[in-house]
Amino acid sequence: MKKVGFKEALGQALAHDICEIKGQTVKQVAFKRGHIIKPEDEDYLLELGKQHFFVLEPGDEDLVHEEDAARIMFETINNGDFSCSPVSMGKISFIANTAGFFTVDSKLLTDFNMLGQISAASIAPMQYVKQGQEVASMRIIPLFTTKQHIEQIKAFANAQEMFKIIKIENTKIAQITTGSEVATGKIADGFKPKLNEILSRFDLQVSNYSVVTDDKNLIQAQITAAKAAGAELILVTGGMSVDPDDLTPGAIKAAGAKIITYGTPIIPGSMFLYGLLDNTPILGLPGAVIFEQRTAFDLLLPYALTNTKITTREIMEMSVGGMLNG
């Protein structure tokens, strides 16, 4: 590849795109790769601040252009869950083919970038995305790379495990609200409208709703009944603190649930419970869910909706970034 001035470039094909950038409003391709430079281009090129250009020369046959590299990266990584955007200024984007929760293997993505001369980034994991949403993008850093580098990209181990869309599996949702004050009608159930609002983000709604007084045996019986009625996700609200009348964690455990964690390093939502009743996720929701914009519930609900396994340690690792509304 050779750097030349305008006069020497006349009649030759550009080896790269030339972009037009004007303030914060315009960023577009002014001349595409392969454009044959003509005398009448000079004023516009000077306006763009371009006085020198790259053109190909003999021996450049082993170089791979950034646009071709971008397409190869997409083909290497795509597992079928994504479509690609048109390549623009060397960058290609991954577009979700369906709605669901986007997952990313952070180690694989880091290792991929460690191949060198690559910029690959994604949105944060376990975010709900809609069909057609952009979730990741990547490019090579230089204008051209070598065929050897491209072979490293193609041979990247487990590349198609890097990005996935996980569909929602658990749509039959039971809500069990605990609290004598709600059961006796002294106050309205604050959880009901909040859960309806949260679940509606995923086109879901509670299909089995019940209210039970502060009685461990009654709460346990209602959990068992919800499970028998076919609930695929059980949400038990209220009674999650350490006060004498807060009996929900004990009732969940007595119902036979395996407790992954009672208590999280996520604030708000530190008194949150995540468990499994056989293979059915069961979540204990503290009062913070009603009042706060985001809580541990928002971070852990995607795992419950998709039957994605999560360990106690993985929940503890959410402490980094776990102060949600600070």
CB 62 within 8 A of CB 28: no
Give the tens place of pLDDT for each residue, 215-229. 999 999 999 999 999
Considering the entire predicted model, what is its pTM?
Answer: 0.84
State the first-to-last Cα distance of the chain, in angstroms, to the nearest integer: 51
The answer to whether 76 touches 156, Cβ cutoff 8 Å, is yes
Q: Is 214 exposed, middle or buried (0-12, 13-18, 19+ CB in 10 A)?
A: buried
What's the CA gap between 245 and 223, in Å, rounded? Answer: 18
Q: Are the beta carbons of 115 and 156 closer than 8 angstroms? A: yes
Question: What string of DSSP letters covers 131-194?
Answer: TT-EEEEEEESSSEEEHHHHHHHHT-TTGGGSEEEEPP----EEEEEE-HHHHTTSS--SHHHH
Could you tell me where the beta strands, DSSP code E, fall in 24-169? 26-31, 52-55, 63-65, 82-84, 92-96, 100-104, 118-122, 127-129, 134-140, 144-146, 163-166
Spans of the chain, pLDDT less than 50: none
Work out the number of other CB atoms within 10 angstroms of the CB of residue 217. Answer: 11
Q: What is the pLDDT, as a whole number, of residue 251?
A: 95
Nearest to 36 by CA among 56, 20, 22, 61: 56
pLDDT score recorded for residue 326 = 65
Instruction: Tell me if the bond preceding 268 is cis, omega within 30° of 0.
Output: yes
CB atoms within 10 A of CB 158: 10
Q: In terms of DSSP bridges, do strands 258-262 and 280-285 run parallel, antiparallel, or are they unpaired? A: unpaired
Provide CB contacts within 8 A for 160, sequence distance 6+: 76, 77, 78, 79
pLDDT at 261: 96
CA–CA separation, 41 and 304 (whole Å): 59
Among residues 15, 10, 20, which one has the least CA distance to residue 142? 15
pLDDT in tens, 38-65: 888 888 888 888 888 777 666 666 789 8
Would you state the pLDDT for residue 26? 64
